[in-house]
A and B are shown apart, each in its own frame.
Chain A
């Protein structure tokens, strides 16, 4: 069931990461956190989540590099990625989608909308 799905959140901003994690736990998901690009890549492999919620601004490897690495690795190439970022420029959104992100949500966001988008991605990737 989608409600049991494991989700990895990679966000360099601890309060934001905590809030999004709490929101998804409240939504019934199993949530894991990564504070930087490198640990996001490691956890994406070791935890095999159903979805990665990824910020673009990350310490070390940025979100674009993380998407690139995940999509070029056969073990993680099918992992759906939802970008959740404060970067709202058209070129950033297009770049993330072109690299293979499933969806792009700009901060600040509506919690209900984020949950709906996550639900849809998980349904599609089932």
Chain B
């Protein structure tokens, strides 16, 4: 046979054998995997009842005796997998028993060993597992891992510490708020927020020692945790030298919602800087203290748009009395306050309500609606009302509005530009 042809036949044969072996290997691999999965399922059905017996047991029987006794690696892996599933969703006494089981099985020791792996993803995975295991013995190694050169590993260690809880694990998280070069403060803050009330004491103790940016983050975290224990610090911070601190404290007090802080927030409406004033107005809307209506009305005349906006929104949140104040602001001598009042009444759909009354059968309601639309017209911000006059679904409303808009009431006595210098 021609040697070239012979070579080609051998090549084809070789490729054929290779492909056949590859196919065989794939089939065997798939079969083994399926057999392995079936075996896992079978073993799991045998293991689960024993683990549930252990998790639900009220006795002080030694954990090692209560857990399934098996020396096979498969069973140990399945028990660990099942406990990790449980660790995600259970709480209380059952959760403590899950942690004790991980310790008894040696899973915690093994995961701590894996924290020293040369591969960063193995370190990250081990940190995550330790977070779910919640063993106190993992705190020191996890704190050490917070200096890992890999950012993802550091953040997983931080999350794990947040899950383990306890003061020794929370303290390094609070310190991490102060190191923006190595941490995203937002991510650390989120972890501390998830820790919840258990983080409050550590934050309060560490607060004075933190740099400015971390103090701002700490106030944010305390506000979001909504612990009344933070109220004293927040009130004190309303007098801080730095406006960011004052603003964050005002915001936090609104989130916490202690009605006793309304007088402090009302005072903060007169802050020399606009961010604390804006945050104080927003928080007063959350507290819903009727005593804030007068000061909020005054803040509707503020030089800064955000303060006016938050004040208007707060009045709207204060219910009928707040809405009454907003309607009253339509006659203000300050055009910016009038415009914000219209905007808030639009957002609160109060204008829609009055416009619908223009065709009411009740003469009193009709007259009130006309007086109201007159006020809106006089406030010189009638874009939305003009749109309603053109597009309202009801012909009667379109007609009534058009008539009022054609003959607007005279504007309030003051000139529109009065006191406007420097307003945003």
Contacts and interface: CB of A to CB of B under 8 A. Distances in A.
B56 A19 contact: no
A107 interface: yes
Interface in A79-126: 107-112
Given A22-B52, A26-B48, A26-B52, A109 B90 contact: yes
B51 to A, nearest CB: 9
Interface in B76-110: 82, 84-86, 88-95
18 contacts: A15-B85, A16-B88, A16-B89, A19-B86, A19-B89, A20-B89, A22-B48, A25-B48, A26-B49, A107-B89, A108-B88, A108-B89, A108-B91, A109-B90, A110-B91, A110-B94, A111-B90, A111-B94
The CB with the most chain B CB atoms within 10 A, among A13, A109, A111, A112, is that of A111
Interface in A28-86: none
Closest 9 CB pairs between A and B?
A: A108-B91, A19-B85, A15-B85, A26-B52, A110-B92, A22-B48, A107-B89, A108-B89, A16-B89
Contacts of B94: 110-112
Given A22-B48, A26-B49, A26-B52, A15 B91 contact: no
A110 B48 contact: no
Nearest to A23: B52
Interface in B192-233: none
Interface in B35-71: 48-49, 52, 55-56
B385 to A, nearest CB: 33
Contacts of A18: 85
Interface residues of B, number: 17
Give the interface SS of chain B, mostly helix, strand, loop or mixed.
Answer: helix
Contacts of A25: 48
The CB with the most chain A CB atoms within 10 A, among B49, B55, B90, is that of B90
B276 to A, nearest CB: 28
Contacts, number: 42
Contacts of B52: 22-23, 26
Contacts of A13: 88
Interface of B: 48-49, 52, 55-56, 82, 84-86, 88-95
A19 B82 contact: yes
Q: Interface size for chain A: under 10, 10 to 19, 20 to 34, or 35 or more residues?
A: 10 to 19
A18 B86 CA distance: 9
Nearest to B83: A19
Contact of A112 (B48, B56, B85, B89): B56
A16 B85 contact: yes
Contacts of B95: 108
A117 B134 CA distance: 27
Nearest to B49: A26
Contacts of B93: 110
A25 B45 CA distance: 10
A109 B89 contact: yes
B29 to A, nearest CB: 23
Given A16-B88, A19-B89, A22-B48, A111 B82 contact: no
A110 B85 CA distance: 14
Nearest to B81: A15
Nearest to B94: A111
A23 B55 CA distance: 11
Contacts of A19: 82, 85-86, 88-89
B55 A111 contact: yes
Contacts of A26: 48-49, 52
A107 B94 CA distance: 13
Contacts of A20: 89
A112 B91 CA distance: 10
Nearest to B47: A22
Contacts of B90: 108-111
Contacts of A16: 85, 88-89
A110 B82 CA distance: 16
Contacts of A110: 90-94
A19 B56 CA distance: 14
The CB with the most chain B CB atoms within 10 A, among A20, A108, A109, A110, is that of A108
A48 to B, nearest CB: 25
Contacts of A111: 55-56, 90, 94
A37 B43 CA distance: 30
A120 to B, nearest CB: 18
A31 to B, nearest CB: 12
B47 to A, nearest CB: 10
B256 to A, nearest CB: 16
Nearest to A22: B48
Contacts of A112: 56, 94
Contacts of A109: 89-91
Nearest to A20: B89
Nearest to A25: B48
B199 to A, nearest CB: 17
A13 B88 CA distance: 10
Contacts of B86: 19
A80 to B, nearest CB: 21
